[in-house]
Structure 1
Amino acid sequence: MKFYVLTLFPEIVHSFFESSIMAKAVQKGIIAYELVNIRDFAFDKHKTCDDTPYGGGAGMLMLPGPLDCALQSVLGTRKAPQAAGGAKKKVRKRKEGEPRVIYVTPSGKPFTQKMAAELSREKKLVFICGRYEGIDQRIIDKWVDDEISVGDFVLSSGEIAAEVVIDAVYRLVDGVISAESLAEESFSGGLLEYPQYTKPEVFDGMKVPEVLLSGNHERIRLWRLKKRVAKTLAVRPDMIWAAREAGLLETETENCVAEITRIQGDCDGCNKND
């Protein structure tokens, strides 16, 4: 898989691709990347890439010209979509084999693990990193396939948001991380991950749960499943209901849900009777 990152600050992203697991994936040839500096496509000697928005308002907006040229350098030319009367209309349809173009923005579709898995099956992904008040809508209309938000908050750096999406995606590409490591992570099977422990056996008076020291793999598996269910019910109960509707919860998991909710219900009843 190859990532193209269009940015005004390539130095922010460069270290991300040169560190840790990502660096190993690049060295193995599993992942490739290209950082495209949008300023290289500016039209004036000052490398201007922003201006005030039409209609007024605070802040600056990234100019469409340099960004359009930067995208053309990666994707080739594309004619702007037209509607009757000459008005612009979004009719962006990606051709088979074309890279998928993503604009990370707070106004985009919420990013999920399911979306990460979908994107991990692509061969090439292009990320547009916004700055200031964002980018000209005509660039979105002409080029963008997906507008993605990493959360209900605003960042000053589109680079950080792009790194979040890339990090969630590349680790799902075959050969980057073992399938076993991915199998019981948070969000797999509609559940959060179970608690983990390592040496020493006793730390600051806190002992590792006995079941993890038992060597009984079936007991450990069941303990981990129950912990996953309990954590999800406590922190993200919406995931349980969504997984149930999607048919992701196996009978054993449903039994754990029933047992834990029954125990919690009994405890609530006891508290009310105190």
Structure 2
Amino acid sequence: MMKFTVLTIFPEMFNSFWSYGIIKKAIDESLIFASAINIRDFTKDKHKTTDDRPFGGGCGMVMKPEPLADAIRMAKENNPDSRTVLLSPQGRIFNQKLAVELAESNGLNFVCGRYEGIDERICSDFVDDEISLGDYVLMGGELGAMVIMEAVTRLIPGVLGSPDSASQDSFSGELLDYCHFTRPREFEGSKVPEALLSGNHKDIDNWRLEASLIRTFLKRPDLIENKILTKQENEILKKWCRDIENIIQAQSLRGSGTLSGN
């Protein structure tokens, strides 16, 4: 069972997150365990202070090391083999490959920073990994922890209704997911592709692969550039090239400038 522990000064933020949808189902079925540790519980003063002014001056405040260290120690005591992750703009960019890596862990402790950041001695001595959602800054690590927990939970066997669901997601196969359709067959003049109605599994698989390639080419061509294509994927791209060349030749026969709108 995957054990998630969140270290935060706002533990209440996670109550709703853990109470709905697939996450709640996974908790109810004991596929995951999730809990929050309030960093303020490890402070020593009556005001439960978790931040202080930075040495050397500067704007903002920095999270103090003592309560953070004690909170992390408690998380590790509860699950000694767990991995401690700091949500940080300086961390590795989170993606599906990293989600798969984290899903193989024996437990994850998420340290949610606030203010201008946390004392560097925590980063160097108590954290196993730093992860960022992207090149932007949030007010804290709580939303990042939720995103990672959801992405990792989907990969745990038994969580999704179909065992193939996670493997067919966008990015799992280095391409974006193919288009999806449901009833009715026709909606406001737009029809479901005939291949999906044929009942022929080979035709359906071929259509989905081509749809996946088209989506990726149009929306994320960088994924194709960095991917080692299969023989079938190469054949599809070569066919597109031939079709595009035929269109260009046909336009050229009608007169130069046709494609540019002149």
Query: Which residue number corresponds to residue 225 of structure 1?
Result: 209
Question: Once the 2 structures are TM-superposed, how far is the Cα of residue 112 of structure 1 from its aligned partner?
Answer: 1.4
Shift of the alpha carbon at 1:100? 0.7
The percent of aligned pairs where both chains have the same amino acid is: 45
Shift of the 267–127 alpha-carbon distance from structure 1 to 2, 3 Å rule, reads farther
Deviation string for 1:169-223 (max 9, x for gaps)?
1110111123211232101221100111111222222222222222222111111
The residue that corresponds to 1:259 in the other structure is 239
- Give 4+ residue runs of structure 1 displaced > 2 Å after superposition: 257-273
SS of 1:193's equivalent in the other structure is: coil
Q: Identify the residue that residue 128 of structure 1 maps to in structure 2.
A: 111
TM-score (norm 1): 0.86
Matches for 1:16-55 after TM superposition, within 5 Å? 16-55=17-56
- 2: CA distance, partners of 1:199 / 1:255: 32
Partner of 1:143: 126
Look up the equivalent residue of 2:6 and give its one-letter code.
V
Report the counterpart of residue 84 of structure 1 in structure 2: none
How many angstroms apart in 1 are the aligned matches of 2:98 and 2:199?
37
Give the structure 1 partner of residue 191 of structure 2: 207
Q: How far apart, in 2, do the equivalents of 1:264 and 1:13 lie?
A: 51
Cα-to-partner distance string for 1:52-104 (whole Å, 9 max, x where unaligned)? 2122222111111111111111224xxxxxxxxxxxxxxxxxxxx62111001
Q: Once the 2 structures are TM-superposed, how far is the Cα of residue 105 of structure 1 from its aligned partner?
A: 1.0
Measured after TM superposition, the shift of residue 38 of structure 1 is 0.5
CA 1:65 to 1:105, structure 2 compared with 1: closer, same or farther past 3 Å? same
| Distance in 2 between residues matched to 1:188 and 1:74, nearest whole Å | 31
C-alpha spacing 1:140/1:268, structure 2 compared with 1 (3 Å): farther
Residues in 2 aligned to 1:10 and 1:157: alpha-carbon distance in whole angstroms: 12
**Structure 1 unaligned blocks of 5 or more:** 77-96
**TM-score, normalising length from structure 2?**
0.89
Inter-partner Cα distance in structure 2 for 1:61 and 1:261 = 56
Contact 1:202 1:208 in 2 (8 A): yes
Matches within 5 A, 1:172-191: 172-177=155-160, 178-191=162-175
The equivalent residue for 1:64 is 65
Measured at CA, do residues 27 and 227 of structure 1 come closer, stay the same or move farther in structure 2, by a change above 3 Å? Answer: same
Unaligned runs of at least 5 residues, structure 2: none
Conserved 8 A contact 2:54-2:61: yes
C-alpha distance in structure 2 between counterparts of 1:264 and 1:51, whole Å:
62
Post-superposition offset of 1:266 = 5.3
Q: Which amino acid aligns with 1:213?
A: L
The alignment partner of 1:243 has SS state of: coil
